[in-house]
Amino acid sequence: MAITSWIRTFPLMQYLVSWAQEQFMAVLKTGPVPQHIAFVMDGNRRFARRRKLEVREGHSAGFESLSYILEMCYQVGIKVVTVYAFSIENFKRPAVEVDALMEIARTKLLQIIHHGDLADRFGISIRVLGQRSMIPSDVLAAVDKCTEMTKHNTTAILNICFPYTSRDDIATSMREIVELSKEHKVDPSQIDEKMLEQHMFTKDCPPLDILVRTSGVERLSDFMLWQCHQDCTIEFVDCLWPEFEAWRFGAILLKWSRSKSIEYRKSELEQEQKLI
């Protein structure tokens, strides 16, 4: 068991860890805070294998990690969080695993919108990005309930990419533009990056500041390919997603915040020098 999880088994220690976490978040809030962060939650099956658990239990542990990481994100004031919950490629996995992932997604979606739970506490609008047509009907009912119930929340956004790939996102955007052009609503000579962006699933989200991928694997796996622009920091973390603890995430936020503070200070100095 990871050290912080073990410490949390003692009520007083749990209280102290939560208190320390809150203080840390309060300090972080005083500096630059990312607007948009994305996660590739990788390593659930390896986590299960190493602990001789069922694959399903690995995925459940992954969703537990997601809960506290989301909590930290919204506590610190991040506006948009985008998570890779299920790739279109994941349909190629054994049916029993796909079914388990769908069932976990369904229950977690319904849980998140409970009165007093995450969406309610932080005013989060939940969006499910990807191919709706591939979602089984019972899960789709939960998706619709979730998006409908939270659509008026304006403080923050949670994008759940499910079933998603970036290349499908780009292709979907192009398809929409081609349809508009067939209806003469768009002149093909006007098609540019901006227009493509306006038809992506993430169209009304701020630019992506940080993308985190766990499990030591250094690739994007068809996630946020378009959104990883020149100002996006990519962090590859060498631990499995269910072991991605608060301190690791805190360190990433702190590093980003410090680098932005230095950048802002530099540009301020440049402005001052221009004025002299």
Q: Minimum Å distance from CB 89 to ligand IPE?
A: 9
Residue 243 binding Mg ion, by CB under 5 A: no
* Binds 46: which of Mg ion, ligand IPE, none (CB < 5-8 Å by kind): ligand IPE
Restricting to residues 38-57, name those near Mg ion by CB under 5 A. Answer: 42
Give the whole-angstrom CA distance, residue 255 versus residue 265.
Answer: 15
Helix, coil or strand: residue 263: helix
- Provide the CA 33 distance to its chain's centre, in angstroms: 15
Give the whole-angstrom CA distance, residue 74 versus residue 133.
Answer: 30
Helix, coil or strand: residue 2: coil
Helix, coil or strand: residue 112: helix
CB within 8 A of 175, min separation 6: which ones? none
* Binds 90: which of ligand IPE, Mg ion, none (CB < 5-8 Å by kind): ligand IPE
Q: Minimum Å distance from CB 203 to ligand IPE?
A: 23
Say if residues 35 and 78 touch (Cβ distance below 8 Å): yes
Candidates 44-52, 183-191, 204-212, 227-235; binding stretch for ligand IPE (CB under 6 A): 44-52
Binding site for ligand IPE (CB under 6 A): 41-46, 62, 85-86, 90, 101, 215
* Positions that interact with Mg ion (CB under 5 A): 42
